[in-house]
């Protein structure tokens, strides 16, 4: 590959990396646990933007239950957002033949 083609590819990659960063803020995924009694919503930047806990789950004598359910819902949301990020990264990096990891994901 000649140097000019490499430079064009680098410029294209920078543009796509910026595009991906912009999209990450708009991606969301909801994780659930306890049959929907606990819900956590994450963005593509792994910020928690919402948590819902059903009253029926709240028991002052058993805080570990809520802790476990929130952790499980967060893990579910995290796995879902990872899959969405992977899809977006693959779409953006696809014609550059770069692995998503090269986009910093």
Q: 53: burial class by Cβ within 10 Å (0-12, 13-18, 19+)?
A: middle
| Segment 31-39 mean pLDDT | 97
**Does residue 98 carry a pLDDT above 60?**
no
Residue 35: domain span: 3-103
- What span, in angstroms and rounded, lies between the C-alpha atoms of 72 and 69? 5
**Does residue 27 carry a pLDDT above 80?**
yes
Look up the CATH number of the domain holding residue 38.
3.30.1310.10
Total number of domains constituting the chain: 1
Tell me, what's the pLDDT at 90? 79
Q: Which residue has the higher pLDDT, 12 or 85?
A: 85
Tell me, what's the pLDDT at 40? 98
**Does residue 99 carry a pLDDT above 70?**
no
Tens of pLDDT, residues 43-96: 998 999 999 999 999 999 999 999 999 999 999 999 999 999 888 877 776 655
User: Which one-letter DSSP state was computed for residue 103?
Assistant: G
- What span, in angstroms and rounded, lies between the C-alpha atoms of 17 and 56? 44
Closest CA to 55 of 74, 72, 34: 34
State the pTM of this model. 0.75
């Amino acid at each position: 590959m000649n140097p000019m083609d490499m430079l064009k590819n680098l410029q294209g990659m920078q543009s796509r990396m910026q595009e991906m960063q912009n999209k990450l803020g708009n991606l969301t995924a909801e994780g659930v646990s306890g049959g929907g009694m606990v819900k956590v919503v994450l963005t593509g930047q792994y910020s928690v933007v919402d948590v819902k806990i059903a009253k029926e789950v709240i028991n002052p004598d058993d805080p570990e239950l809520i802790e476990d359910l929130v952790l499980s819902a967060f893990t579910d949301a995290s796995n879902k957002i990872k899959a969405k990020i992977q899809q977006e990264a693959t779409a953006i990096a696809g014609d550059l033949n770069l692995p998503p990891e090269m986009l910093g994901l």
